[in-house]
Chains A and B, each alone.
Chain A
């Protein structure tokens, strides 16, 4: 009857179910439990409490069958009503092994949540590393954790405590919360402090749960095994976690689909506690019947659990895998070898030798065979070698030399690029390599013409790197080679190559003109600016720390979210430890925390979420235009302009910014006086270089001026230094090549528009790169002026423009720039409406009476608007969010 989903009869059904719940027959009670979720789905407020009451009665039942169904009802109706569980906890634990298997899965999870909520985490479990971190308040301090672990009496355990910390933290907090938390580490109030832990040895409830779930590890239902393993993983003391290993490995033998799911979970376990799985490495050997996903997961697990003792047999296996007909898998194997070698530096030599042999073997056939897979294997093996060499370049000198030698026979462009990169990077390593350099460069210059585009670019970069650290007699040869290469590149078909060649030429014009190296040194005083700049650009890689960020996401073991690696709708992290004791207080403070964190993100520049964003935005604009008027007349008061930028550069710690700022001041000066000093063009193209290399987004003048602007406003509304960290990325709207020397670029300033909240503010900069004055520069929306040429529009954009025509004006009319002097930069604030789609906006730029079509590309991040709301509304809105990843789209499955 509950299947009839009518609101009218639901009170009747409720009465019937309530009676059935007290029926003497087990089957009737079970059916009553099954009917409850259906009733609940009707979403009638008035009967909810009655339903929960019945759930409580059914959970108290003696019969295992009823309890299983009641657990299912509980999970779908009121998963956070822990008082219901608390009443029956002991009974539920004892009955757990007899409950039917499907009910067991859900009941295990419910009990786990209850225990965490009421008693907190177990002190001896791996989750306790969380405690160490929290109490010392030093997130990244791995040392601390190790000390704490040694105190615990387990000094020999070596595992990635940072990772464990991350895993446990993400179990409890959920990913979104974790991210917002880490974004403001200082501001957060740690509500997970040490007092919330309990000891597994003294707490009876925890002990009971572990006792009852351990026989379930023998269940023949793999889902039950995994759920029970999850409980032990989180709750059991460190010494006992190994109990879950064998059952987990056993369920690998079941069907292919569940094998994949189990492997996904083991992967997380193995990353956090590799020593658990070390003795069982044989179980992860790949068999040919595995699916590709399983194979890849097995490789990853193997490379994370490999140790000194097992490495030899693992490598023998890997050698077999390399010959597998599935070349994708073979490439993965090569990558895994690289990982192993990085993990165990002692094996690095063996690995490199093996990989070199593999490369040689590949070379024998790769020129004949056109197969994609072979190229992948080759590229992957060079990547692996590269990563091994990176750890200790000096002791792999011979390997590097061998790679240089093989350059002749390697034909795959990606592989060549990497070897050429190594030429530049390790040009000063060891004794032999510097001697080889000229020969290698000669060879590269010789075959430059026939290379692919990326290889050409890399050759140019490498030559500069070599040039920078070249000494003595080589200098001359290399300089000549370099100028030869530049000449070649300048005539290249690809314009990226041409552009880079031109840029380098300007940068090095001194070195090339004065071909005597001593002279360069002597004149360093005057000309060190470009040189330092070049050093900064090309020496940067060395400073980069080799630490790779842990960007994996972790969800509760056995959950769907762990498999698909995003929080599925309805996913909930573990409840806050002991939250059911001091429930209200903890949750309240926590939600405040979250609101402020989110508010910070939304308003962008104001750290205090209660500030009215509108006023601060308009203040910013005002101050921005103040500054603009200063900036636009550098020619008149160049002293003040230079001083301004220089002092502003001083305050920044990044050397690159300092140089570029000084350079801009300099270029402005030069542009005004038409001195024709060769620095000018170099500086001009520097900006283009930045957009190529993408190294320092927005480090050029827009961000500089923006920073000033932010700082000025900071004086008024006294925000912290957060604005300095936020660097707006600038996009090019119009290239000087296409716009007769007019360059237009824009950046999204996260300010609110004063006119309508639907408008997005853009800071647009007009720069005159030509030598003539431009007049009447303005940007208009093409659609409002009907005089556009539709002929060259593609179908898709036509459709979008049709839709946008019917809407409001997309662009608020811009104040016209009457004239723009050469070298001058003007700023305008554009207010654009993007209609919430990501298609580029077609605009027309009028300049000197001519019309130039341009496309404005929206950035999805700036569609977000600050919305002031109080706590109640926030909580209410938050509860309405169905899930982070829900969006409607038609999806059809075709086989």
Chain B
């Protein structure tokens, strides 16, 4: 069963099953005939995204509590085995998200349905992602660069692979039908891009300009990849030596290239090899936790100015084992506010068809993605 659990596509004699696992919940879809498997998987991901958007987060109890909503959503999202409405904005208009008021109303009036009676206008418009009559008192648009750094540092401490996976997230609170143009100062560093359906392809092909009619509210405008970066903001230096049945571990963490902003919520996580019986780990900064499944977490937080945080300790190997031959991989998490490590810069954001009073905001944040240090 463990094997099946990790297979995204399962072939049974009569059916094919696609599965994804999100937050401990397995979403299954099944088919009897040939279809693009990614279509199934992508749809499941979309369902999971929208459910977690509606319910705030995703867990078993929440789904049980809001079963009616989940059912209504699925009913709208898929029809006769084909995805129908998956645009979150339209769904939001059709089915009101759960909140206290609606719960009260349903209890008082006895009307349990929260599907709206009127058809959302956007279904008929040529921009299906945007409702037709949006009105805001304050017109605001926020553009966030959210970047994740993927890196692999091998046993010799050499940076094998370092790249940024970034997203441009826009929170658009604009009245009417605005038309936005976003341009970057240095679009040439982008290795590859993917766009929200609202982005027009022609301007990007010719001038590398993003021209779009935004959906309402928060959405992911584009995602991009910047490859072959040369340095990482922090270093992690693990050292494991083993002799006569015990293993000494010491891990040093420090700042390598100061990005100019503080690096916080640094967390180091690693899985102890199965041959280790017990571990005694201490650190001079932060807290260390060893869970029963041998996952060890060292939360550092911010790196102090006066000293370099280090973790040290001894581990007892299985009886009969002299030296350690399999080594753990350390997963590093960190967050840097205010900096996009890829160096991507937004040049300007132009708007058309918008009222004159307008607030534009830009932010950037870099997190660690699949940031691994092997030992």
Interface positions of A (Cβ within 8 A of B): 25-27, 30, 34, 37-38, 63-65, 69, 72, 97, 100-102, 105, 109, 215, 218-223, 225-227, 246-247, 249-251, 253-258, 260-262, 282, 285, 287-289, 291-293, 313, 316-317, 319-320, 323-325, 327, 330, 361, 364-365, 368-369, 558-561, 563-564, 566-572, 885-889, 891, 893-895
Contact = CB atoms under 8 A, between A and B. Distances in A.
Interface string B106-137: 00000000000001000110101000000000
Nearest to A292: B6
Contacts of A215: 201, 205
Contacts of B17: 893
A568 B160 CA distance: 40
Interface of B: 1, 4-9, 11-21, 26, 31-39, 41-45, 79-80, 82-84, 86, 119, 123-124, 126, 128, 150, 152, 154-156, 158, 160-161, 165, 191-197, 201, 204-205, 220, 222-223, 225, 271, 273-275, 318, 320-323, 325-329, 331, 370, 372, 374
B19 A560 contact: no
B43 to A, nearest CB: 8
Q: Which 6 A-B pairs have the closest CB atoms?
A: A570-B33, A257-B8, A223-B38, A215-B201, A571-B34, A570-B34
A257 B18 contact: yes
B9 A260 contact: yes
A369 B320 contact: yes
Nearest to B121: A27
Contacts of B201: 97, 215, 218
Listed residue (A100, A293, A369, A571) with the most chain B CB atoms within 10 angstroms of its CB: A100
A319 B155 CA distance: 9
B119 A27 contact: yes
B374 A102 contact: no
Chain B binding surface SS class: mixed
A98 to B, nearest CB: 8
22 contacts: A25-B124, A27-B119, A37-B80, A220-B196, A222-B38, A223-B41, A256-B21, A257-B45, A287-B370, A289-B331, A292-B6, A325-B327, A369-B275, A369-B320, A559-B34, A559-B37, A564-B9, A569-B34, A570-B32, A572-B34, A889-B13, A889-B14
Given A218-B194, A257-B19, A323-B325, A895 B160 contact: no
Given A227-B36, A365-B322, A569-B32, A220 B79 contact: no
Contacts of A566: 11
B192 A246 contact: yes
Contacts of A222: 38, 41-42
Given A220-B194, A560-B35, A361 B325 contact: yes
Contacts of B123: 26-27, 30, 65
A211 B225 CA distance: 24
B20 A560 contact: no
A324 B155 CA distance: 11
A148 to B, nearest CB: 33
A262 B42 CA distance: 12
A288 B321 contact: no
Given A218-B194, A258-B42, A261-B41, A320 B223 contact: no
B327 to A, nearest CB: 5
Given A256-B21, A316-B156, A560-B36, 18 more contacts: A26-B123, A27-B123, A27-B124, A97-B201, A101-B86, A101-B197, A218-B193, A218-B204, A220-B197, A246-B191, A253-B225, A287-B372, A319-B155, A324-B329, A560-B16, A563-B9, A886-B14, A887-B14
A891 B195 contact: no
Given A72-B82, A215-B201, A891 B194 contact: no
A229 to B, nearest CB: 11
Contacts of A258: 8, 38, 41-42, 45
A223 B46 CA distance: 12
Nearest to B12: A891
Listed residue (A63, A221, A285, A894) with the most chain B CB atoms within 10 angstroms of its CB: A221
B36 A223 contact: yes
Contact of B79 (A34, A63, A225): A34
B320 A293 contact: no
Contacts of A64: 126
Contacts of B14: 886-889, 891
Contacts of B15: 891
Nearest to B28: A893
A249 B325 CA distance: 33
A285 B20 contact: no
A558 B36 contact: yes
Contact of A102 (B6, B82, B220, B370): B82
Chain A binding surface SS class: helix
A282 B124 contact: no
A649 B5 CA distance: 57
B39 A223 contact: yes
A250 B321 contact: no
B191 A34 contact: no
Contact of B161 (A30, A220, A249, A282): A282
A737 to B, nearest CB: 41
Listed residue (A223, A254, A364) with the most chain B CB atoms within 10 angstroms of its CB: A223
Nearest to A258: B41
Contacts of B321: 365, 368-369
Given A72-B82, A105-B39, A250-B225, A261 B32 contact: no
A557 B320 CA distance: 50
B123 to A, nearest CB: 5
Given A258-B41, A323-B327, A559-B34, A313 B160 contact: yes
A32 B321 CA distance: 70
B32 A895 contact: no
A285 B34 contact: no
Nearest to B225: A250
Contact of B86 (A102, A289, A564): A102
Contacts of B42: 221-223, 258
B31 A220 contact: no
Contacts of A571: 34
Contact of A561 (B34, B84, B126): B34
Given A258-B8, A325-B271, A891-B14, A320 B155 contact: yes
A100 B197 CA distance: 8
A568 B33 contact: yes
B11 A887 contact: no
A293 B160 contact: no
Contact of B36 (A226, A249, A251, A313): A226
Nearest to B161: A282
Contacts of A567: 34
A368 B317 CA distance: 13
Contacts of B7: 260, 293
A496 B1 CA distance: 37
Given A560-B31, A888-B13, A317 B154 contact: yes
A635 B245 CA distance: 75
Contact of A288 (B12, B38, B222, B372): B372
Nearest to B324: A323
Contacts of A563: 9, 37
B274 A325 contact: yes
Listed residue (A25, A325, A368, A559) with the most chain B CB atoms within 10 angstroms of its CB: A325
Given A25-B124, A102-B83, A253-B225, A323 B37 contact: no
A894 B38 contact: no
A293 B10 CA distance: 13
Contact of A26 (B6, B43, B124): B124
A317 B16 contact: no
B128 A100 contact: yes
A6 to B, nearest CB: 16
A215 B200 CA distance: 10
Nearest to B370: A287
